[in-house]
Amino acid sequence: MRPAGSLSDDTPRQLGGRRGFSVAYKGKTLLSVIDPISQAERAADAVPPLSRTLYFCPSPLYGYGLPKFLEKLSNIHADSAILCVETDEKLLAFSRAEMGVLLQESRLRLSGLRESAALCGFVRQTWGSRRFRRVEMLRLTGGWRLDTELYDTLADALRRDIALDWGNAMTLVKLGRRYISNAVRNLALLARRPSLWRLSFGSSPTLVLGAGPSLDKVLDGLAAFFGESAGRPFKIICVDTALAALKARNIKPDLVIALESQHWNLQDFIGGGDWELPVAMDLSALPATAEVLGGQGFLFFTPWTEISLFNRLREAGLLPERFPPLGSVGLTAVAIALRLGSGPVITGGIDFSFTLDCYHARSTPGYRERLRRQSRLRGILNPEAAFRSAAFSAQSKSGVPVRSDPAMRGYRDLFEREFGAGNAGSARLWDISGAGLPLGIETVSPERAFAILSGDRPSPPGTEPPPIHPAPPPPDADVQQKTKMLTGFIRREQEALLTLRGILKGEIAAEADKTESILDICDYLWAHFPDCAGAGGRRPPGTDLSFLKRVRTEIDPFLKLWSLALKEAES
């Protein structure tokens, strides 16, 4: 029998032996009073062992039942793991002291993290992305009753995070080849188009506009309040889909953000060519986007997956300004606004919701297309989107009912995690009230937002937080020097592909280590394969014939892409 602890109500205390044993804490009995070890083992036996499953074990205390469950997993599914979570500090210290050798198991971890994002990051760092397919509860003690709501919240957050990983993987399977193909083509722009580092808004206020349904009221108020854009005392950043709505009101933005890798977004720029607007374009965006508006272009980079090509570009001094992969052009526009200046940032039209008749603002290409297709048999309403199985009703910032879906809700949650209270830049970020989902930042009325944009700062002059990168950017090399660097880089990539092709065709003899090494160097060839996408760089071994055959089919198309990029860079 272990010695009894303090008998105070807020300290765990132990009574009895194997039979008649209990742990009492905060007025609750956490373990069975009759043979707690057998009780925990029976609870473990009732949970089926599944492959690629993360078992969430709240409040493990002594870890009773865990050795038996680990043995069951080892015999059947060695790719599953157990995450023990204790949200009470005293019980966490208690468990760490009592679980002993169990904590040395590679498939078991004990954590005291109470924040969903931190716990999801811990799981990803410990076991990697796409390791698990599901999360199952493993309740072996009564400790989970002390914090039921938080444990359920943490488990749900892990489920959403795992689903997001798999959703991202499916996106990579579908679009990963296009992303890297666009990036190779766009490398030719690196010598002529500056990184987004070269643009600065200083301390000017910035208005960031998405293309949600609430954008119409924002723009109408903006036009009425400020009139023509010539004397505007602030900057405007808009997403590409919102450009047509601004054009309809003659509100000229200072920067347009483009992320889309497919040709669909080219219609967003129709009618805007006479403005010659500057465009900030992602390295993986559609190459044609670079020329569509004819104005100054800037490049930035969001890593859609982990590949060594990015490291080589960075080491060669060719990688443009890096932003986190946020998935949404609206979120990226906000991140860019915070990076480019130190003034207040106001968001509008970033809704993550829609109405029965409006998915985007009314002047956007998608809405105009529905108007064109309207007939006696086909109305303006969009019931396919509004009433599909995954869509749900939600309450907007203004209290008006709107529709949303899990994908939009996920982006809204990501917005709050990236830009909400406590994050860099959150003190100078506000959202205009309207018919969109709450974003987790302070909401202000349109009148108050326009006053802030006019220079009525919410804080005294001189107290504005600095931009996220206050240091000046490194000087750019001249076009000729950068072209030389770029062409040299492209030729080295071609040589690597030719070597790999020679090895796979049997024309070049290579040891296993060399094959593995060059497969890792040319990882963009296989990063979009279904068994590799979003897996943190994991791939089949170089002895897997099926994998090597698939890699071989990718080499020739990429050799052509590199040749085209080289030709464009030298022209």
45/91 Cα distance (integer angstroms)? 25
Q: Is 151 strand, coil or helix?
A: helix
What pairing do the DSSP bridges indicate for beta strands 28-29 and 22-25? antiparallel
Check whether 336 has a pLDDT greater than 80: yes
66/41 Cα distance (integer angstroms)? 8
Give the pair of three-digit tokens for residue 509: 């003899």
Mean pLDDT over 528-554 rounds to 91
The pLDDT score that the predictor gives to residue 188 is 87
pTM, full prediction = 0.82
Q: What residues form DSSP beta bridges with 235?
A: 206
pLDDT class for 230, splitting at 50, 70, 90? low
Three-class HEC string of 332-388: HHHHHHHHHECCCEEEECCCCCECCCCCCCCCCHHHHHHHHHCCCCCCCCCHHHHCC
pLDDT digits (tens, 9 = 90+) for 509-521: 878 888 999 999 9
Check whether 91 has a pLDDT greater than 80: yes
The pLDDT score that the predictor gives to residue 477 is 55
Q: Average pLDDT, whole number, for the chain?
A: 85
The pLDDT score that the predictor gives to residue 165 is 85
Q: Is 441 strand, coil or helix?
A: coil
The pLDDT score that the predictor gives to residue 236 is 95
288/498 Cα distance (integer angstroms)? 28
Token look-up 């994908």 returns 407
| Rounded alpha-carbon distances, angstroms, from residue 290 to 264, 278, 319 | 15, 10, 17
